Structure 1
Amino acid sequence: MAHSHQLNQQIAADPAYRLVQRVCLAACIVLAPVVLFLGFAVDPTGGLGVPANLQGVAASLKGVSPLQIQGFLYLNAVTVYFFAPSFVGLGLLAMRRSPWLATAGMIFGLAGSLPFGIFVPLEALAFRAAASASTAAVFQSVDAQGSLLLLGGSWVVGHLVGYILIGMALLRSRAIPWWAASLFIVAVPFQAAGYGTRQNMLQLICFVLIFIGSLPAALAMLKGRDEAAPLT
C-alpha cells in the first residue's frame, strides 16, 4: 500500500512529458525480454540459428507451419523497438551513482540491440533458400558480406557485455534490489552457452531471468528513481 501511495504521489506531481517518458521506458524494460523470449520460443529452427546452416535449417523446417515462421519473423522485426530503449532505461536508473558503468552498458547495449532488425530479411531469405536450391547461392553470397558479419558480431558481443555492465551499474547504484540487479549478470552465461550449444532452452532461461530482474527496474523507473535530486 505504501509503495502504491508513493507511486501515485510521484505520478501526480510530475509533468506529463516526464510521466510519458517513464511509462514508455518502463514498458520497454519489461517487454524487451518478453519479446525476445517469445522469438526464441517460436524459432522454427529450434535453436539451430539462422543463417548458421542451410541444410540444418531445411531439415528443421519440415512440419513447421507458415504461421509459425511468420510469427517468428514479426517478433524479431519488432524486437528492436523495445530492446534498444530498454538499455537506455536501465542505464538511466543507475546513472546517478554509477555513471561510467551505466554509460558503458548503454553503449554496448545499443550496439548489440540496434542491429537486431537486420536479421529479419536474412532469416526470411534463409528460409526461402533452404526450401529452394536455386536461391542458396544468392543467400550464401549475401551472408558472406563483411558488413553483415560486423553487425552479427555487434549483436552478440554488445547485448551480452551490455547486460553485464548494466547489472554491475545497478548493483553499485542500488537503484533496484541486489538480487534483481544480479539476475542481469547471471543470465548472460545461459545466453552465451545457448549460442555455443545451440540449445534454445538456455536462451529461454536467460530471458526469463532478465524479465524477473526487469520487474523491479520498471517499477523504479515509474517511481522516478532515475531523476536527479532537486537543488536546494
Structure 2
Amino acid sequence: MTETITRTTGSADVRGLSRWTAAVILPIGPAAVALLRYFLPYDTVDDSSTMTSKVMAEPGRMSLVLWLGFIALLTLVPAAYSVGRMTRRRAPLLTAIAMFLVVPGYLALPWLAGTDQLLWSGTEAGLDANTITRLAETPHPTVAVAGVFFVLGHVLGTILLGMAMWRSKVVARWAAVAVIVSQPIHFVAAVIIPNHTLDLIGWGLQAVGFAVVGWAILRLRNDDWDLPAVA
C-alpha cells in the first residue's frame, strides 16, 4: 500500500521564515545566560546569607539578571532543538542522548530562577535580611531535583551536542569545539574558581557556536531544511 504526498497549491511556504527564525534565535539564549552570569551580583558558591546581602546591595543588577533569565528561558529550548535538527541525520544517537539531557535541563531553569526572584522580591518588599535568608534556605524539594536535571542537562548535554556537531560536520570543527568546551569552562568558573568573566567566556563560546549553526541553517535550501506542506 503506498501513500502519495503532494505539494499544497496556493498555500504559503513558511519554511524560509522558519529557517530565519531558527537562525536568529539560536545564539540569543546562550548569550543571555553569558551576560546573566557576568552581571550576577553573587557567586554560585556563596551561602544564602551572603547572596541575600549582595542582592540587597544591588537590586537593580539582580533585576537585570532576572530579565536576562527570562529571555534565556524563552529561547534555549528552541535553540537546542534547532541544533539537534541539523545534526540528527548524521549523528542520530549522539543527538538523541544530547536532546534527552539538555531539553529537560533547560526546562528546569525556572525552578532555579525562583530563588533569584525571591531575593529580589524580598528586597523590594522591604523585608529584613534574616527573613529573606530564611526563605531562601527553605526551598521546595523540587528545587534540588531541578538542580540535578539542570547540571547534568546543560553540562553533559551541551558537550554531547557539540560532539554531534563535530561528527555531523554541519559546521566548522572550531565551532563544534567551542560548544564542547563552553560548559566545562562555565562549571569551573561557577563552582571551582568563581570568576564571572570566565563564565561570560564559557557561555559566550556556546553562543558563538550556536550562531555558526544559525549561519549554516540560513545557507540551506528550504527543501533541505524541511518537507513542503502537503495537500
Q: Distance in 2 between matches of 1:81 and 1:96?
A: 26
Helix, strand or coil: the match of 1:179? Answer: helix
8 Å contact from structure 1 (residues 79, 117) kept in 2: no
Q: 1:69 to 1:40 in 2, by over 3 A?
A: same
- TM (normalized to structure 1)? 0.81
Which digits, 9 at most, give the CA deviation of each residue in 1:63-83, with x for residues without a partner?
A: 42x322211111112211111
Q: Equivalent residue for 2:215? A: 219
Matched, 1:113 2:145: no
Which digits, 9 at most, give the CA deviation of each residue in 1:140-168, with x for residues without a partner?
A: 22x2x321101011111101111111111
Structure with more contact order per residue of length (Cα contacts < 8 Å, sep ≥ 6): 2
Q: Distance in 2 between matches of 1:113 and 1:37?
A: 15
Structure 2, unaligned stretches of length 5 or more?
1-11
Matched, 1:205 2:201: yes
Q: Equivalent residue for 1:89? A: 82
Which digits, 9 at most, give the CA deviation of each residue in 1:167-189, with x for residues without a partner?
A: 11111111101111111112222
**What letter matches 2:115 in structure 1?**
L
Q: Equivalent residue for 2:61? A: 68
Q: Distance in 2 between matches of 1:103 and 1:33?
A: 21
The alignment yields a C-alpha RMSD, in angstroms, of 2.4
8 Å contact from structure 1 (residues 26, 222) kept in 2: yes
User: Which aligned segments of 4 or more residues in structure 1 are displaced greater than 4 angstroms?
Assistant: none
Where does 1:10-89 land on structure 2 (aligned, <5 Å)? Answer: 16-45=13-42, 48-49=43-44, 53-61=47-55, 63-64=57-58, 66-89=59-82
Which digits, 9 at most, give the CA deviation of each residue in 1:99-127, with x for residues without a partner?
A: 11112112211011111122333212134
Helix, strand or coil: the match of 1:176? Answer: coil
- TM (normalized to structure 2)? 0.81
8 Å contact from structure 2 (residues 112, 146) kept in 1: no
Q: Distance in 2 between matches of 1:38 and 1:187?
A: 14
Q: Distance in 2 between matches of 1:27 and 1:160?
A: 23
Name the structure with the higher helix share.
1
Percent of residue pairs bearing the same amino acid type = 23
Deviation at 1:54, TM superposition (A): 1.8
